A and B are shown apart, each in its own frame.
Chain A
């Protein structure tokens, strides 16, 4: 028993060290944002700011284009998620509730598309957006929304399918006995049941779109048209003096909404990628 207890103590020590190492970068980001420049650039690092200041945060949000680019990001992300969700909901029902020829092929495509590296697609997407039938879509938010749908759509189809599958068939049949048509049954019975799944899926699609970098940085050239990740990547700049306080403050601000959203849906979505393997 006592051997077991010392064993537990040893593992706890290891666990605390692991916790410290893993969380340190996040801790360092937040505390740097709260330090004065003297503390940031001091030769001996200040581990904890005793008198935290908010100056870097106000500096960051007053940098050129911060709010414009936040607005751009919100527009792109909301439009992407709304379109992806509306279209994929029907496809998810088809996959979860019907057996039909070509179903398997479609599922294979939906899974495989999600695995394509974005770097491999950027060249054709860039050139085709430049000669879009309705006009040049390079350097427009519309172009970025179209490109984001390439990963958001298959993701939503696959994830929503899982949620629709989870709904008991009895409920759906009960609705049909009532004399509703199948589509009617879906809408009246399934929609409320699948609502939490819709929310979780949309939040996760929101996070991926918000974090996206390569497409946005290639397609959007003007400072006033960029998304917030591109804005952040350019903050580093080419100057000799790097304003780490402002960069860390901006990093913290950009991470906060994503961390909150992630905490909300992590449990529901994370296992979609390995669905079924863990049960």
Chain B
């Protein structure tokens, strides 16, 4: 009797122990990732905040100790007209790139539906090829195609009678050099949009399209009233992703315009903070700009994260 009772107590205790152990399993599984991310990302972000509140130049870098100056860095940055110019330029740059990427990508997907099967296959292969190109490689190709001496772009434009582009230097003005950066980024970003939107187009109910056609509705109305509502969730995700990516673009503008040609007249947020930090060795100011940029991007990410969370939980 006594032993039986002891046994039940024992087994009950064992079950509870196991339950506790069972409940802690996911935390043990997460521990390695959380630990490493806290060290290589969490701590650096904490350090970034600290840095933005310090005077931190070359002497401080050597001494490994900055001087606390409160919000002075932020005050200086936010009172500098340059910051607002760069922010405006980055916003316009992002809007143009994202707009072109989404519109041209959607048009490409609609085209993909309408061409013959063999051409659809060919186009898909071409798109995936473009998508796979490493950005640094694409920059080299752009530099070669658009250089003023013997770039093929100037030759083609002249031959097509667009104008006389003989030895035209595209990198002379901020506007035309960004036209080149934009063409490069949009070219590289279109395949992802085309292929994703094309997949979403298969969800558009065929009967509805045919009914609309029989009713004699115009192509634009059919697109607006039948196709677009189905595409909306996908377009929303693609747009927010593109905004986040293009707002933080660094490799293409930095390399295509050239590391030596970055000036206050053509900075984007990413290159601006880079040159404030590493160019002027003013890491405190660089950190303040970095932090402002991260906050802006975090704000832009809210739409994307919320949507991913919802679809992720459904899946």
Interface residues of A (CB under 8 A from B): 7-8, 11-12, 14-16, 18-19, 22-23, 25-26, 28-29, 32, 40-45, 87-88, 90-91, 93-94, 98, 100, 103-104, 106-108, 111-113, 115-128, 130-131, 146-147, 149-150, 153-154, 157, 162, 165, 182-183, 210-211, 213-214, 218, 229, 232-233, 235-236, 238, 242, 244, 247-248, 251, 254-255, 258-259, 262-263, 266, 270-271, 273-279
Contact A258 B309, beta carbon cutoff 8 Å: no
Residues of A within 8 A of B34 (CB): 91, 106
Within 8 A of A (CB), among B87-119: 108, 111-112, 114-116, 119
Q: Are B126 and A87 in contact (CB under 8 A)?
A: no
The reply to whether B287 and A119 form a contact with Cβ atoms under 8 Å apart is no
Residues of B within 8 A of A19 (CB): 119, 122-123, 126
Pick from B32, B51, B119, B133: contact of A255, CB below 8 A. B133
- Check if A259 sits within 8 Å of B294, measured CB to CB: no
CA A133 to CA B131, docked complex, whole Å: 40
Least distance between A65 CB and chain B CB atoms (Å) = 16
Inter-subunit contact B32/A248 (CB<8 Å): no
Inter-chain CA distance A67–B125, complex, in Å, is: 30
Please state if B130 and A23 are interface contacts (CB–CB under 8 Å): yes
B77 at the interface (CB under 8 A from A): no
Q: Looking at the complex, which one of B36, B271, B309 makes contact with A111 (CB distance below 8 Å)?
A: B309
Is A157's CB under 8 angstroms from B33's CB? yes
With a cutoff of 8 Å between Cβ atoms, the chain A residues found around residue B244 in the complex are 115, 117
Q: B51-63 vs A: 1/0 string, CB under 8 Å? A: 1000000000100
- From B43, B135, B136, B307, give the contact of A128 (CB < 8 A): B43
Asked whether, in the complex, the Cβ of B126 is within 8 Å of the Cβ of A22, the reply is yes
Interchain CA distance A28-B23 in the complex, whole Å:
59
Whether B81 is near chain A, meaning CB under 8 Å from some CB there, is no
Q: Is B278 an interface residue (CB 8 A)?
A: yes
A42 to B150: give the CA distance in the assembly, Å.
8
8 Å CB contact of A213 from B48, B251, B301: B251
Q: B residues within 8 Å of A by Cβ?
A: 22-23, 25-30, 32-34, 36-37, 40-41, 43-45, 47-48, 51, 61, 64, 108, 111-112, 114-116, 119-120, 122-123, 126-145, 147, 150, 152, 155, 187, 190-192, 195-196, 199-200, 203, 233-234, 237-238, 241, 244, 247-248, 250-251, 254-255, 260, 269-271, 273-274, 277-278, 283, 286-287, 290-291, 293-294, 297-298, 301, 304-305, 307-309, 311-312, 314-315
Q: Chain B CB within 10 Å — which of A23, A123, A165, A236 has the most? A: A123
Nearest CB on B from A60, distance (A) = 12
Contact status B44-A128, CB under 8 Å: yes
Q: Are A8 and B140 in contact (CB under 8 A)?
A: no
**Distance of B279 from chain A, by nearest CB (Å):** 12
In the complex, what residues of B have CB within 8 A of residue A119's CB?
248, 250, 269-271, 273-274, 290, 293
Q: In the docked arrangement, what's the CA distance between A248 and B140, Å?
A: 7
B273 CB contacts on chain A under 8 angstroms: 119-120, 123
**Between-chain CB contacts (< 8 Å), 18 pairs:** A15-B123, A18-B108, A19-B126, A22-B187, A25-B142, A28-B144, A40-B150, A42-B150, A87-B33, A91-B34, A120-B273, A121-B44, A123-B51, A131-B64, A248-B141, A251-B137, A271-B199, A279-B203
Q: Are B51 and A107 in contact (CB under 8 A)?
A: no
- What is the bound-complex CA distance between A39 and B36, given in angstroms? 53
In the assembled complex, the CB of A46 is this many whole angstroms from the nearest CB of chain B, namely 10
Q: Knowing that A41-B150, A45-B150 are A-B contacts, what are 14 other residue pairs whose CB atoms are under 8 Å apart, sorted by A's residue number?
A: A15-B111, A15-B115, A25-B145, A32-B144, A91-B30, A106-B30, A122-B277, A127-B61, A130-B61, A150-B41, A154-B37, A213-B255, A247-B144, A277-B234
Nearest chain-A residue to B314 (Cβ)?
A: A276
4 nearest CB pairs, A to B: A117-B248, A276-B311, A262-B132, A119-B270
Q: Are B25 and A98 in contact (CB under 8 A)?
A: yes
Q: Which residues of chain A have C-beta atoms less than 8 A from B304's C-beta?
A: 111, 115
Among B64, B136, B271, the most chain A Cβ lie within 10 Å of the Cβ of B136
